[in-house]
Structure formats: C-alpha cells, structure tokens
Chains A and B, each alone.
Chain A
C-alpha cells in the first residue's frame, strides 16, 4: 500500500495536467470553475470524459495484465499480447454490426479469444500460449478491420483510428459504463486481495494455503474478461499497455508481485500521459492514443527480449 502513494500522486498530477492541456491550455482556476459548472463545454464535455476514460481504461488494462501475468506466471501472457484485447475488439465490432449490446459483445469476444488460445495451446508450455495468442489476435484484428471498413459510414481513416486505440469519442455515458465495470472489479479484487496476493506462488502452494486454485482461476479469468472488454469498449484495442504496466510499476515502486494496485495505477498514468501526448502531437486532427502507447510498450518488449535473450525459454 505504502509504495502505491508515489504513483497515486503522479496520477492525480497527470490527470490535472491532462485537464489543463490540449489545444488551449487552461489555468487551475478555470479547471475548478469548469468542473463545477455543468454547462462548461471544454472541461465538462470534452476533457473530463476523456481523462476519466484514459484513467479508467489504463487502470482496467493494467489490472487485467497484472492478474493474467500472475495467474500464468508468465510476463508475456497479457490480454494484449495473447489476443484477448483484439478478441474484445472483434466482439465489439460484431455487436455494433448486429445491433447487439456492446459490453456483453466485447466480453464475449474476449472470452472466445481466451478459449481459443487455451484450447490451441493446451499442454504445450508457456511460449505456445503467447504464440497462439499472437495468431488469434492477428486473426481477430483482421476480421475487425473487415467489419469496420464494410460499415457504411466508416471511412478507412476512422476505422484505423479506432483500431489503433483512440479516446476521441469519449463521452460521459461510455465513462460511466467503464467505471462501473472497473469499480466492480476493484471491489472484487479488494475482497479477495489476500488470496490474489498468492497468484505467483503456483497451484501447489496456493492450495496448501487453503485457496482453491480452480476457483481462483475462474475468478481471475472472469475479472480479466470484464476488464479487457470494458477497456476495449471505451478506447478500442490498445496494445502493450497491459503488458507494460505491472513490470513498470514494480520497477518504479519496488512493489512485489502480483502488484495489482500499483499496476492499475501505473496503467492509468501511462494512458493518461499517452493521451495527453496524442492530443498535443496533433491538436487539430484526431490522433490515436494507442499509437503512443505502442511507441512506449513495443520498446519495452524489445528490452524484455534483449535482457532475456540468453535465457532458454520454455
């Protein structure tokens, strides 16, 4: 708990800067009055939903990544690397095309991707999970692109922006849906915190400590599905955030695995900062936040592979 404080403070500061920054910079006084005034356009309609979504999606994906890494004891097996985020994106696009409910659609997509990866890689080791996940993710991504490009009013540019992960369509309704899922997930994590803290110890030790590993697995997978779906629903398939958040949080704070709360806070920090950067890079045009995240996260994957290049992976 103690080591969460620096990231929490950083998140508050980043959120304030994100409220202030953009095409026009706003002073603290104007932010305060804008937050209290329901008719204020820039703060209440444009920036507050966007910051809420950046923080929420970042926290959801960071938490989902840390949970998944702990469950599989594999730092690569995060929802964005093994195709769950892309599956949720496909589910969202399908729901959009058929007029079904969006959140269940995204959750169904994530669950289907999870099932596909689990069935394909059964009993073949940790790396097989990751590789099949890449294949499943690529398939889902291509299918989503086809669906979105076929949609009548979607130009290629808009489809590409959503597919790269964008917060441009942020509104309070989306933020509410996201935060209710995130709130429920955080409550579940808090309730099971002492049990979840044994995630990296493996099934045997978990069972010896009185935890049913099978029930734990279902709990974690359900949480990951819900969080991935809510995050993807709000911001599109954002890659590398879930993968980067937990290790970065541990490197910064010295927290110990599974470091669920630090990972959620770090994910929120990363996405808030990336979204601000995206808005500053292209003040006029719509620029996908996910691209900025990839520019941070992909080098981390490079670093991860470089550090571990002599290791004999499974």
Chain B
C-alpha cells in the first residue's frame, strides 16, 4: 500500500475515534469529560460498553453489506433491505419467546439461523440462479426484501406485544437500538470480531469470483466454496449484529456505497474503508439519538433509517442511471 492510498484509511479511523469520543462525552444527560474520567457511577464504563457495541454492530453491518453486494453484484443488497436482518430478528424473538431463559448463545444461534433462512427465501424470490447476471434481479431484490422484512417484523412484533416480559426486553430492540447496558452480548461481540477478520480474508476470493465463475475456478478457487463462505460470513455478521442491536436497516447500504466511492474498484480496500465508516456511522447515529430527543432517546435504528431512506434513493438513482445508459 502506498502512502497516498493509506491516507483515507487513517482519516477514517481517526473519524471513528472522534465518533467514539463524542459518544462517550454526549448522552441524554450531558456530563463533562472530567466527571466522566473521575469514574463517577461507572458512567464511563457504561457508555464505553455501549459505544463498543455500536461500533461492532456498525462494522458488522457494513462488512456484511460489502460482501453481499460483491457477491450479488447489486449495490442494493443491504442485509436490512433484503430482509436478512428481519429474518434474524424473528428467529431471535421466537427463540426468546418459546425457549425462555436459554441465554445469549441460544439467541445468537437462532438469529444466525434466521438470517440464513431469510437469505435463502430472498434468493428464491429474487429470481435465484436463473436471474443471475440480468438487470432484473437488481431491481427485484428490494421488493422481495420488502416482503420478507414486513412479514418477519410483523410476526416478531406480534410475539413481543402479546407478552409483557418480551415487551420490556425487545420492544425498543425491534426498531434497532444499541443496548445501554451489557447483558449477554459477549458471544455476539466475539462472533463479530472473528467474522470481520474472516471477511477480510474472504474478500480476495470474492474479488476472483467477480471475474466470473470459470475464471475463479481456473485460478484454483472453487466458486461454490467462495459463495458458501461469503454467505456464511454474512449470515453470522447479520445474526450477531441483530442479536445485539436488533434489525437495523440501511447501514449496510450507505456505508458500502460511501466506501466504494472512496476505495474505487478494489473489493478489499472497500471492505477496509467500510469497517470504520459503519462503526463511526452507527456510533454517531446512536449519539445523535441520545442528544436530539433529550431527555428521551431515539433509537439508533430509527436515526439510521432517517438517513437510510434518502440513501436508498441516492443509490437507486446511480443504479437506474447506469441501467439507463447501458
């Protein structure tokens, strides 16, 4: 890597650090840095944990978006828009509803399985392998995602609203909220860390696949294995992110879109740019949600959606313009 290509990465990670500092400093109650540092009431630790969760979830969703978009060749393939997050959310809620008291690992596994199920359903609905490489799949994807998302979120909301205990735990979570205190997030956090590292390694294979399945094969990389590997990583990232913070949509759309703009055609570079972008983005969204609604809070998922709708329109414009000129 040359120095000029390193610069954007350094800047992005600095921005990420700045976002972290902001999120530590600003809350629904404004507290100065000196009070924070004096360790009063474990406030710093509490906010640090929350910021850590936001950064991990943001990075996970951005990475999942980059990989899903690389795999489908479709800039609209965000784990939120495609309904993968919603599937994870439904499975997690259903698990908590029907198997109460199993703890974090059960929820995590259920969320990962739900993400996988929703991904498969999406693949079938969007046209499957038959439609691959045609422009129509690009445009059918969000529609299929809308159907899956609406169904899964409605079913999940139904489970939450009919049970008082579920309401207390999951009502805010279902619209996408960073947990204020650590409950059983260590498993998902570890899963995100591992999958993020694996994702970087998988990007090389995925870039080969972008050259075409046969080309990838002749270079000694089995395309089916690549697809399975990438999909597995996406499902783990999405499932773990949902297990922590609920189904947050649009972050996996905007962060990769911006990352590709910064990094150009290289998939690995886009991946590396997307991580700090996603982490900083969600941390800032969480902070903003705490600040704009004082003394209440607006959940990070809603803040992201507020920017995500226009983000979707922006991505669509570039996509449709490309389709129009082609």
Contact = CB atoms under 8 A, between A and B. Distances in A.
State yes or no: do A and B touch (Cβ within 8 Å).
yes
Interface of A: 76, 81, 120, 124, 127-128, 130-132, 134-143, 145-146, 149-150, 156-157, 160-161, 164, 239-240, 281-282, 285, 287-288, 290-292, 294-295, 297-299, 301-302, 305-306, 309-310, 312-313
Interface in B133-158: 134, 136, 139-140, 142-144, 146-148, 150-151, 153-155, 157-158
Nearest to A151: B296
B42 interface: no
A299 B152 CA distance: 10
B150 A135 contact: no
Nearest to A137: B309
Interface in B153-181: 153-155, 157-158, 161-162, 164, 167, 171-172, 174-175
Contact of A76 (B143, B171, B250): B143
Contacts of B131: 309
Contact of A138 (B125, B128, B143, B309): B309
Contacts of A164: 154, 157
Interface stretch (B60-68, B189-197, B264-272, B298-306): B298-306
A135 B158 contact: no
A76 B146 CA distance: 12
B161 A142 contact: no
B309 A139 contact: yes
A135 B125 contact: no
Interface residues of B, number: 52
B308 A138 contact: yes
Given A128-B320, A295-B158, A309-B127, 6 more contacts: A131-B142, A137-B309, A142-B305, A164-B154, A287-B161, A298-B147
Nearest to A306: B125
10 contacts: A124-B324, A139-B313, A164-B154, A281-B158, A292-B158, A294-B154, A295-B154, A298-B154, A305-B126, A312-B134
Interface class of chain B by DSSP: helix
Contact of A313 (B139, B249, B309): B139
Contacts of B326: none
A156 B170 CA distance: 11
Nearest to A140: B309
A313 B134 CA distance: 11
A149 B298 contact: yes
B48 interface: no
Nearest to B152: A298
A146 B312 CA distance: 19
Contacts of A128: 316, 320
Nearest to A295: B154
A295 B324 CA distance: 36
